[in-house]
Structure 1
Amino acid sequence: MDTRLYKSIEFLIIFILLPVSFAINYSVRIKMGIGLLGFLYIVYVLLKVEKKVFKIAPNLKWQKFWKLTIFKLVIIAVLTTLFVWLTDSTLLFNVLLNKPKLWVFILFIYSFFSVYPQEIIYRTFFFERYKGLFKKEALFVFVNAVIFALGHIFFKNSLVIILTFFGGLLFAITYNRTQSTVLVSIEHAVYGCWLFTVGMGDMLGFPA
């Protein structure tokens, strides 16, 4: 389970073959079953094989984390607001203004039941398991962003792939710096919630 060959095959199955297979048309129930089994396997490996102990990263300066996150959020907010306004202004803050209860509900569900599992898979598991397979840290972070984008290929939307690639870069850099699943999940949730709020939710699979 710890050999280089085993990890390479494991990486190929979990992060390439499975995401690509989810883009193929077959039973959603089967896809959910495969996804659940995959997630349980990842949690098992993290806890029993890698002996991972989840922590918030107590030595991190929270003020610095929030300053960086808000700085990046401002840039993202400006760019995405302009994008929605120029492409379809009717979507701009549509759910927030017209369905505020749905907006609150979706943000809660997304933050706790989508973001956190994604970060366990794509950051915590990936970094703990495969860092030894890469000699250069920059390449390792880049590959993480690529497979995170590939994980969204089932949307069959090129803009989603681009957004998730750049998002993957940001999240990989944050995790690499903090080694905290909680902090990178907070950052992921902040940016994802903003995209839903500004009017890009339909494109990213949010109910609207």
Structure 2
Amino acid sequence: MNTVRYKIVEFLIIFILLPVSFVIDYSIKLKMGIGGIGFLYIIYVLLKVEKRKIKIGPNLKWRIFWRQTFFKLVVIAIITTLFVWLTDSKSLFSVLLEKPKLWVFILFIYSFFSVYPQEIIYRTFYFQRYKGLFKSELLFIFVNAIIFSLGHIFFKNSLVLVLTFFGGLLFALTYKKTESTLLVSIEHTIYGCWLFTVGMGSMLGFPA
């Protein structure tokens, strides 16, 4: 399971074939089953093959993390607020103001049942498993952003693909610096929750 050939085939199946297959119209139960099996396989490889413990991380620098995350959030907030205001002003903070209970519920579900599994797959597993296959660190980061975007192709939404590509770059760089699934999950949660809060939920597949 640790040969280069095996890892390449594994990479293509998990990060290319499976996401693309979810675009095809077939049973949602079957898709969920395939996704569940894939996730269990990833956990197995991490724990049993790579001997990797999913831990908080060895390079925690909370002050630096919060300062950098806050700065990036301010930039994201300004850009996205202007975007929603110019393209769909009625949606600006609409869920927060009109459906606060739904807002809280969605943020909870998204944070714990979407973000954390994504970061295990796209950062913890990817960095642990495939770093040795790339000679260029920049290419390694770029490919991570590409496959993270591709993982959202089932939304069939170009805006989602663009946002997840840039999000993938940010999260990959954070994980590279911290090696922490926890910190990158917190960052992912903050930005994702903001996008839903500002009014981009319907654009990005959140129930509204």
Structure 1 length as normaliser, TM-score? 0.99
Show the counterpart of 1:101: 101
Task: Name the amino acid aligned to 1:29.
Answer: K
Superposition deviation, residue 206 in structure 1:
1.0
Superposition deviation, residue 204 in structure 1:
1.4
Task: Name the amino acid aligned to 1:160.
Answer: V
C-alpha deviations, 1:155-198, integer Å up to 9, x for none? 11111100000000000000011000000000000000000000
SS in 1 for 2:205: coil
Structure 2 length as normaliser, TM-score? 0.99
Superposition deviation, residue 128 in structure 1:
0.3
Superposition deviation, residue 13 in structure 1:
0.2
SS in 1 for 2:204: coil
Show the 5 A alignment for 1:128-207.
128-207=128-207
SS in 1 for 2:145: helix
Show the counterpart of 1:13: 13
The worse-fitting range, judged by mean Cα deviation, of 57-66 and 107-116 is 57-66
For residues 33 and 57 of structure 2, what CA distance do their matches in structure 1 show? 33
Show the counterpart of 1:25: 25
Q: Are residue 48 (structure 1) and residue 43 (structure 2) matched?
A: no
Q: C-alpha root-mean-square deviation of aligned residues, in Å?
A: 0.7
For residues 41 and 56 of structure 2, what CA distance do their matches in structure 1 show? 23
Task: Name the amino acid aligned to 2:36.
Answer: L
Show the counterpart of 1:118: 118
CA contact (8 A) 2:175 2:184 kept: yes
Superposition deviation, residue 203 in structure 1:
1.6
CA contact (8 A) 2:46 2:52 kept: yes
Task: Name the amino acid aligned to 1:38.
Answer: G
C-alpha deviations, 1:38-60, integer Å up to 9, x for none? 00000000000001112222542
Show the counterpart of 2:127: 127
Gaps of 5+ in 2: none
SS in 2 for 1:52: coil
For residues 130 and 124 of structure 1, what CA distance do their matches in structure 2 show? 10
For residues 50 and 58 of structure 2, what CA distance do their matches in structure 1 show? 21
Superposition deviation, residue 35 in structure 1:
0.2
Gaps of 5+ in 1: none
For residues 161 and 206 of structure 1, what CA distance do their matches in structure 2 show? 15
Task: Name the amino acid aligned to 2:158.
Answer: S
Question: For this pair of structures, how many residues does the alignment match?
Answer: 208
CA contact (8 A) 2:59 2:180 kept: no
